[in-house]
Structure formats: C-alpha cells, structure tokens
Structure 1
C-alpha cells in the first residue's frame, strides 16, 4: 500500500510536469523583444518606442492619453477581465478570441473568431469580426502601426506566461548582501533569517506547492552594488528582498524598475530613497532620509526652535550633501530660514574646531549627520565631548541607526538636549510577535548579532509570504505589486502598522523622535512623527 501511494504521487508529479511542457504558455519562456514592447503598452498604455498613444472614450470620443486607460486597467494583467461598475470586460486571451466556432459575448453578441487583422480593427475602430460595435465602455486607440504589431504580439501570449524567476514548483527570490557573508556578519545573519523562514514555509508545502528559493549575490565594494544587483535580477529572480545597497538604493531601485522586478525591503536607503514612487519598490520602515525629516518637523514644532539659529552638519559626500539638502527643504516647509548647511570631512576633521565654528555662529539647534564610515572622534559622542569642553549646550538631533550604540557612552556633563530618530522601537513588538520571533530564532539556532536587523528581515519575509499567498495560484509580478498596494494597517506584531498604496511605498511613514536624558542616558520621551509633505 505504501509503495502504491508513493507510485501514485510520483505519477501525478510526472504528469503535472509533462502537462506544463505540453500545454501552451504554462511553462515560462522569455518574451521576445516585440512581445516585451507589447507588454509595456498593454500594462501602461505607453509605447516602448516613444510613439504617442491616444485613447478615445465614450460616445463623445473624449481624447485621453493611452496611459490613463491602458488595456490592463479593465482586462486585467492576465487578460481575463475585471468586472467593475457594472461593466464586464471581455476575456481577451488568445485561445478565447480565436475559438474555431466563434464567441458569444456577455451581451449575447456573436461573432466569428478573431485573427490579427480583426483584433487590430477592434482596437482602433471598436468593432468585432462580425461588424458589431463593441461596448461603449471600450476605448478606441490610436497608435503607430509598429506599436499595434507589438501589442497584438503580446496579446497572443497574455495570461499564458509565467514571470521570470518562477517555475511550476519554485519561486526564486534574490538577496543582495555585502561580501564576505560570514555567519555573524551583517549579510550573513540576514541571509540566515530568510533561509530559515523559507525552510519553514517549504516544510509546510510551500506556497501553492511552489517552494521558495533564496538566491544571493554579494558586492565587496560600493561601486559593485549595481552590477551585483543586475546579475541577481537576470539570473532571474521573481523579486528582490531587502538589499544592503551601501548608499546605492536609488540606482538599484531604478534598475529594478527598468527590469520590472519587485523589491521588498525592510529599510529605506541612506539618503531617503524610501520616499520615491518607483512602482516596484516597497519598504517597511523609514530610512535615514525620512528619519531626518521627522527630526526637522519635531524640532520646528517644539520650543520655537525655528526662531533660533540652526545648522545641519553633514559629511562632504554625495549622500551627505543629498541628505542635508533634503532636510533644508523640509525646514523650508516650516518657513525655517535661519538654518545653515555646513560640510565636514568625515575622515579628517577636528571636532573641537567644528564646535568652535558652530558656537561662534550662535547655533542653538544642531542636526548632525554621521557618515557610515568616520574617524572615531567624529562620532556624535566626540562632538558632544568637545561641546562640553567649550561650554556649548545645543539641542542635538541625530538619526539613531547612524548614531549606533553611542548613547550608553555619552559624555558626562553635556548640558544640551539630545534627540534621536528611530524607524521602530521595542514598544512595537507585541507579546505575540516577540514570542513568535523568539521561537523562530531558537528553533533555527540563529546568531545573536544584529538582532534588530534580523527582526526587520523576518518582518519582510512575513509580509512577502502573506502577499504571495494573497496573489493566488496564478501569481505574477504585477499581481504581487497590486496586492502590496492594498496592504492597509497591517499588524505584524514586529513593526509599526504598515500601509501601502498606489502613491505610497513606505509602510510605516514616519519615525519615533526620542528624547534622551543626558544624565541617565534613558529615553525621556518618544513621539511618532510623520513628515510633513
């Protein structure tokens, strides 16, 4: 009996594999260049060739850009139609359109099968192969002949392809990490979290019988990050997980956007790319840019700081300059004009000279941007020690993650105020969420280092698994993006509530601004601040 059951399982698996090969379009194959151009036109209403595309809508033939009413907005990413507002769009998949005996529409209109010419006529003139007028809700499109050929080529395979990085039994997910990925290194512990989470899912049968596979690429230096990300995307992978991009988040995001690879990461990048509206990029928590903007908003709203002289002390690096400009723009929203940007060399500056210059300018509010790499004396603690020596007591505002673990080592006697911004705090961990993570951590024997990053990676994996399940068996990158856009006030027990949307790619849009008692080193206050826009 055991042998018979095993044989049956083997036979069913073999039969499934055979069907995926024999049935047209069910096994993924690379779109041709023409089909890829047609896909862009179908999904976005925009010509990949740069030609104009126009739509004529309704009985009055109102002219609109094609991007306002792309084909996919009604017929769906898979071509099968999405009923909306009493309108039931037709199933326009090629097997349906070309049935040998023709088609009877939902309005009982009958017509012979479509061919390439008839389909082009329907798109341009709004009539079916029998000469019947299509529903008035169906736009008519004006486009170049070459664009029409691209669109028809794609319509022959719409709904019949599997996206890159997928197969009948697997979904490949990419992770970009620093090199080398030693077990206790930052990259190593993040990789271990994803591997362990996927092992749990796969052990329970996967997601709709597809196993999750982690594919990694590493970059040893900042200049190698984008090339490593491209290698990863072209392997191919279905989606990219929280990449450690070393300040190259904008470039990596643009690359993923061009390749239409969804990217779901725990934390926005150094210079605030989490605020971008790249369609394929999603972040759970605020990066440094949003953190610093939240600090500016908090400072402007308290103690009338906008009336006092202020400075943004930033490293003279591309990322530091960008972040300082972002903060200055945020200050301008509050009509805060008495604020100055001051650059410093992150490897060779004297904190005592910096403090003297700031004191001479009567600066009372200081936003200090620490670089990822710096001379030890240029940590915020070194700056505070120099301020104490010179009797200068400003209010100092910093990004907590950039400041690191310097709070317990604060210089005694610093008379100023200290405020740090954090994308999440221990208070966000619910008892259930903490217990779940602790059990997961113990079960897999994970490292005790970089625990907050491990929790963020775990939350990312949890969100991704939820979105993959919600997308259903007929998974695609477009469906994944649409499902993530529908996430609203998602409580995962590990982070602040997460909300995304068509114009929102940052799940927890804001940061905690935490006041620190300089005598005890304890948090004296914590306020959630969503940046003013």
Structure 2
C-alpha cells in the first residue's frame, strides 16, 4: 500500500514539474519569437533576411542561410555575437553583430527549435483555411462558395477547408458567420470577409486589426437606405427638391453604435432634403403612404408593417433575413431591402447570395496569397491584403483595402420580395 502511495506521489510530482517546465519553455520561445520578428534592442530583426519560417532567403544576390531547427548553441552564439560562421570564417558584413545577453540567445534558440509553431495550418504542400458556420442552409452555401474558389493550388499548396476549427488548426479564417473571439486587439487569427448573421441587427463597424471585411460599413449601408428612399420619391421628377417626409423606426436600446449611426443619418437627411421623424418602436406613422426606414430585427417586422400604413418600408436584408418571405404578399411588396453586396443572379434566395460573398472572400484570399510569394507567413499575408487595390471578383464587384481601411467594397443591391415564390429580385444596384 505504501509503495503505491509513493508511486502515485512520484507521478504527480513528475507531471507537475513537467507542466512547469513546459510553461517555462513556452515563455522562452515566445520571447525568442519577439526577438526573431522585431529584433533585439533596436538591432535588425532576423526575419528580414532569414524568412518568416527561418527557411533562408535570397535577396540582392545574397543568400541568407536557413536557420530553423535546432542549431548548436555555440555556433548560434558565435554567429550572433562575433559574426563568425560554423566554418570559422567571418560572415558577410550585412549580418549584424548583436550585443545580446546569454538568456536572449537561449530564448532565440528555443524559438528556432519550434519555428513554424506560430503559424499553424501551413506546410510546404497544404494551407488550411477555417470557416465557422452553422449546420444549416447558410453554412452549406458558404462552404460551396469557398470550395468553388479553392479549386486550385497556390505555389504548390493545396487549400484545405476546415469546418469550425480551433484557432491552432488553421492559417486564416474566411467568410465565417460566427467567431470565437471579439473584434478587439486580442484577436490574432486573421479573417477575411466575415459575413453578418442573417436575422440579427448589428450596428457596429468595429474590426480587429487582422480582420478584412468585404462589405460596406453599417453606416454606409444605412446611408444608402436614405438615398434609395429619396430616389424612389423623386424617380418620376428627378429635379423635384421638395422635402420628403420619412419616419425612422428603431428598437429601444442602449447600443452606442446605434446612437452614433443615428447622428450620421440625421445629418444626411438634412442634406437630402428629407424630414426625418424618429420613433422608437412601437409608435405609428402619422401620414398614410409615408416612407419608413426600419433599423431593427425581424422580430417586430409584421407589427411594424401593419402599423405603418401603406408606404414603402426600407430595411437591411441581413437584419430582416428570410422573415420577409413569410409575409403576406401585400405586405412583402412594400419592402425594399438593402443587400450590401452584389450577387451573380438577378433572382435568388439569401443562402445563394451568401455563397457568392463567400466565393468573393475566397478569391481575395487567393489573390493575397499569390502576391505574398512562396515564402509565406501571416505578416506577409496581412501586408498584401492591406495593399490590395481594385481587385475585381466577377459577379461581386471591385475590392480595395488600405492599411487604415479594412472595408473592401462600397456597393450593393436594393431588393424586392417575391413572397409567393420565396425569392428576392434585384430592383436597383448601387
């Protein structure tokens, strides 16, 4: 019995110290990662010459050797501190002579032993791409759009799509409908073309630094609704500058993003010669036939339509979702829904539209990968995405990013609802 207790205690202590040692090792290679990518005390970063994976790189006729793996500590220290190679010869003058302490050499050595661990989902033959979607028609449509885009290789790498992966399984996420992380500085897994959840009203334009959104901002979408209402009111008389009466209805809440949006819309309404009467649901409009801008979800859609007379009601196709297809035909005919991207067909259902957007996101990823080159890492990919200009995806439109602007397109379509056939048709493109 005593022998068994001692054995159990030994195993427990061994596991405890193994965990502590593993945590210390992780901290060491993470410190080494910082040195490798950002340099040491202002001296040049290793990644500039030796590549994101330590694979070595040729530039300007000079070849920096590969250093990934487990280099001998004495060799590494002589190269870093003294500029002497393993053959005893002086290294090229472009190789910095670092003034690095012994513990920093150990940290860098730890990172070189595990290099590549900071970019999961990437091998010489495969690049794993994640997509987070529910098991429904939207998820299936998004997968179909990505599979269509990924039917090719980039620099000999096959693009492998993983469904609902963990962050340590993939190189990048594309066209996801849901995310595990908030859009804050803490997000580290790059994502391209995250798509809004249908049927959910969201008024935030906040993006993480590693997120690249294909769709226009929420402010731009809401602004387009006001513009479309003005166009419909003056369609028969384009020179008519009479003030258009509008009612703006939104759900009661303490959403700062919604209130910031309302401030922008008030100013635009004044510029558009529109009188914007604001109402928190559930008040009725005062005049029959008056147009309504509805900033809310599908939950109150029937009641809003029933309470607002017989005028047109403008809303987001994403916020309303497919609830509009369940309306009586007379009510559905009053809707004008804004879809913030272009689709490949003039008649479609929403899952088909999501497939088109997913395809566009996949093509943006492929273009950025091609521009990044064979020696790929996440920093290279993010840099190329930030520099993407005037890239056209057939059936979707033109996409451009800037380092300070991660919303790639600025157009969409105004839809009318055919509830009898369960489809949407394009009324106007913007």
Please point out which of 318, 327, 343 is paired with 1:401: 318
- Note the C-alpha offset of 1:311: 4.7
Contact 1:284 1:506 in 2 (8 A): yes
How many residue pairs align between the two structures? 370
Partners of 1:92 and 1:152 in 2: CA distance: 20
Partners of 1:526 and 1:88 in 2: CA distance: 55
Contact 1:288 1:399 in 2 (8 A): no
Contact 1:487 1:501 in 2 (8 A): yes
Q: 1:244 maps to what in 2?
A: 177
Contact 1:189 1:449 in 2 (8 A): no
Partners of 1:463 and 1:153 in 2: CA distance: 35
Partners of 1:240 and 1:368 in 2: CA distance: 32
Partners of 1:39 and 1:341 in 2: CA distance: 54
Partners of 1:165 and 1:82 in 2: CA distance: 25
**1:366 is the counterpart of 2:322:** no
Give per-residue Cα distances to partners, 1:93-143, cap 9 Å, x unaligned: 86775523222336xxxx8xx7xxx5136xxxxxxxxxxxxxxxxxxxxxx
Partners of 1:413 and 1:152 in 2: CA distance: 64
Q: 2:209 maps to what in 1?
A: 279
Give per-residue Cα distances to partners, 1:349-383, cap 9 Å, x unaligned: xxxx632xx328x99553202315x2xxx326x53
Contact 2:192 2:212 in 1 (8 A): yes
Contact 2:120 2:171 in 1 (8 A): yes
1:11-30, aligned counterparts within 5 Å? none
What is the Cα-based RMSD across aligned positions, in Å? 5.1
Distance 1:503 1:280, change over 3 A: same
Please point out which of 80, 83, 92 is paired with 1:104: 92
Partners of 2:360 and 2:332 in 1: CA distance: 39
Partners of 2:332 and 2:363 in 1: CA distance: 44
Please point out which of 323, 328, 345 is paired with 2:262: 328
**1:379 is the counterpart of 2:367:** no
Please point out which of 449, 463, 472 is paired with 2:373: 472
Distance 1:272 1:497, change over 3 A: farther
Partners of 1:343 and 1:333 in 2: CA distance: 19
Contact 2:217 2:407 in 1 (8 A): no
Secondary structure at the aligned position of 2:313 is classed as strand
Partners of 2:257 and 2:410 in 1: CA distance: 17
**1:32 is the counterpart of 2:26:** yes
Distance 1:293 1:170, change over 3 A: same
Please point out which of 363, 387, 400 is paired with 1:486: 387
Please point out which of 174, 192, 209 is paired with 2:156: 209
Partners of 1:37 and 1:306 in 2: CA distance: 66
Contact 1:268 1:286 in 2 (8 A): no
Q: 1:188 maps to what in 2?
A: 140
1:382-461, aligned counterparts within 5 Å? 382-388=303-309, 393=311, 396-404=313-321, 406=324, 411=330, 419-426=336-343, 450-461=351-362
Secondary structure at the aligned position of 1:233 is classed as coil
Contact 1:284 1:507 in 2 (8 A): yes
Contact 2:132 2:163 in 1 (8 A): yes
Contact 2:388 2:402 in 1 (8 A): yes
**1:233 is the counterpart of 2:167:** yes
- Note the C-alpha offset of 1:525: 6.4
Contact 1:328 1:339 in 2 (8 A): no
Partners of 1:481 and 1:151 in 2: CA distance: 29
Contact 1:459 1:495 in 2 (8 A): yes
Partners of 2:38 and 2:207 in 1: CA distance: 16
Q: What TM-score do the two structures reach when normalised by structure 2? A: 0.65
Secondary structure at the aligned position of 2:396 is classed as coil
- Note the C-alpha offset of 1:508: 0.8
Contact 1:294 1:511 in 2 (8 A): no
Contact 1:313 1:366 in 2 (8 A): yes
Unpaired runs of 5+ residues, structure 2, are 1-24, 68-75, 235-239, 418-422
Distance 1:502 1:399, change over 3 A: same
Unpaired runs of 5+ residues, structure 1, are 1-30, 46-52, 57-69, 122-144, 218-230, 345-352, 435-447, 529-533
Partners of 1:264 and 1:300 in 2: CA distance: 33
Contact 2:173 2:189 in 1 (8 A): yes
Please point out which of 121, 128, 149 is paired with 1:172: 128
1:98-137, aligned counterparts within 5 Å? 99-100=85-86, 101-105=89-93, 119-120=98-99
**1:314 is the counterpart of 2:300:** no
Q: What TM-score do the two structures reach when normalised by structure 1? A: 0.54
Distance 1:164 1:507, change over 3 A: same
- Note the C-alpha offset of 1:493: 0.5
